[in-house]
Structure 1
């Protein structure tokens, strides 16, 4: 075979003595072939420099590219390093792999014009998290199916966990031992960026814009039941769920005078709570004697270290699986609400 040009699918099939459908299935529908035949086709394709059926040509021919795009609210670097986001992507990839589809990752922090050309050919879109701008969604092909995860898009099905009941349950548990100075650390709750104390000058995002409002509602319901006025409970906001962004906010909280520093912190993520735990230990504060704290997510890190984190576990992998099944038409296009699990650890026994 001449190396001066790319080998075609038809030529590869003839070289191997198999049908063109078998070659196509080896790349796009692996479940249709025996493992031995698929390995033989892929090995020979690699040797001859054939990288697979052309997505654009296939899209023009069939109207389908077998590409599913996930639009992430954050940068790709952040999303791949974040435990919750990476678990969700793992669940999406698991289903797409099993059904011969390709996963394309897009960041909501880049303009759609900067996205790969294959974005416009995607068969469907899974939108994950609070978008920094709704414009990117407006620029996506409106006729393609779209599923929202941890986010609401008018007229589109969404996948959520029970945020308000879960936050209520963990706050109710934390409040069984009445705190003197409770506090709440939120994750991206204000309309304008705020990495610090929330004041009356800040406007909170609407409930239909972010799941953090549902989590706050759960905290407030539990506080009110215990006779604590939620308006009197100080709140802080962090703009990104990373140690580097959380740390300055939490350091300011922990460095307050003893009679002002919270003795209970309800945190909207495990990453926030784990940052509190690390910085509190550095200051010689005892957990839970001097400070009790709770998280939300149930990431592995919070359960492997000591003291073990009291938190809410959500199944982010299953959220990804459900969204992927829906976008492929393997499950009904309807809103889904997943249950959570309260994990009682050592940080708030």
Structure 2
């Protein structure tokens, strides 16, 4: 086995001190350009890639990484179009800071609990159960946190979108078109699924709660009591299951408000299977305006949230919180609420 290359190995090769070699990597402004070039050339020749990251983190008191905690499995981060757009914007915003992004699941596996065990300088908590062990561990570690799509906490920075206002606009659009038989298709992992009573709906998170409130803001004054179905999760097959409960019946609704565009996609597929024409016999409204909204036919009327702006705002809030901790300044939580916009396309029309 080849001998281990250290800072001292390089120092001996160049004829300088070990500290001078260290400065070539960590404090380049303290060396002349020519001397630093000689040191880096020697390091490259000897196969040295740089100081050990763990040792450097210990010396600096920082890891150079931030976490993002997801309620769902990590696969969600790579398969959900809204999540991928959000995460991509965070990564782009963090790029110039040198901070790396680490994905953490809120679940634990035996003795390994990512939120407790992974070295990070701060974390984004993205649409998680606030009572989960992961959120508790992060708080107990006293790390800088930013909540995203969570109920705001006065002492923690947060980034949300106007879910309620967007949902209200979507429901009002259907009411203005003349729809009176309206259904809601919700999603969630906990509580009863299938057709549910409106007064007994179990709400999993902030976005679900706010969107339901927004829909009812417009439906209740119009005297409309919606038919409600709740699917187990957000996948296409789960959405199709919920859609069949609403559509494969004699008194089916003339319009459906969906928790997301992914859910609305399932509704459109079931409508086609049942021979229902959209929008002539059924109007469908989604939420998010993710890429699938313009890929389906007819193109989907939906509520647009700017997931890239949300990602940039979340990353900026977290880096600001980390900077405040490093400088010893007072922590001043930021609370950002981004606007939403109703985008009317071909999936809605007056009831026949």
Question: Normalising to structure 2: TM-score of the pair?
Answer: 0.81
Match of 2:284 among 281, 293, 298: 293
Match of 2:218 among 219, 222, 228: 222
Structure 1 residues 326-335 or 298-307, which shifts more?
326-335
Matched residue, 2:317: 326
* Separation in structure 2 between the aligned mates of residue 319 and residue 13 of structure 1, nearest angstrom: 47
CA contact (8 A) 2:115 2:134 kept: no
Larger radius of gyration: 2
Q: Mind listing any 5+ residue stretches in structure 1 that lack a counterpart?
A: 27-36
* Separation in structure 2 between the aligned mates of residue 276 and residue 162 of structure 1, nearest angstrom: 24
* Separation in structure 1 between the aligned mates of residue 8 and residue 309 of structure 2, nearest angstrom: 39
1:201/1:173 Cα in 2 relative to 1: closer, same or farther (>3 Å)?
A: closer
Aligned counterparts, 1:61-100, within 5 A: 61-100=59-98
Matched residue, 1:56: 54
* Separation in structure 2 between the aligned mates of residue 139 and residue 99 of structure 1, nearest angstrom: 25
Matched, 1:241 2:234: yes
SS at match of 2:76: helix
CA contact (8 A) 2:89 2:308 kept: yes
1:340/1:200 Cα in 2 relative to 1: closer, same or farther (>3 Å)?
A: closer
1:318/1:117 Cα in 2 relative to 1: closer, same or farther (>3 Å)?
A: closer
Aligned-residue Cα RMSD (Å) equals 3.3
Structure 1 residues 271-280 or 52-61, which shifts more?
52-61
> How many residues are treated as equivalent by the alignment?
326
Matched residue, 1:340: 340
* Separation in structure 2 between the aligned mates of residue 76 and residue 315 of structure 1, nearest angstrom: 22
Question: Normalising to structure 1: TM-score of the pair?
Answer: 0.82
The superposition leaves residues 227-285 of structure 1 with CA deviations (integer Å, 9 ceiling, x where unpaired) of 224xx31111123221122222222222112xx11110011100010111112112211
* Separation in structure 2 between the aligned mates of residue 71 and residue 333 of structure 1, nearest angstrom: 19
Matched residue, 2:195: 197
Matched, 1:143 2:142: yes
* Separation in structure 1 between the aligned mates of residue 134 and residue 110 of structure 2, nearest angstrom: 6
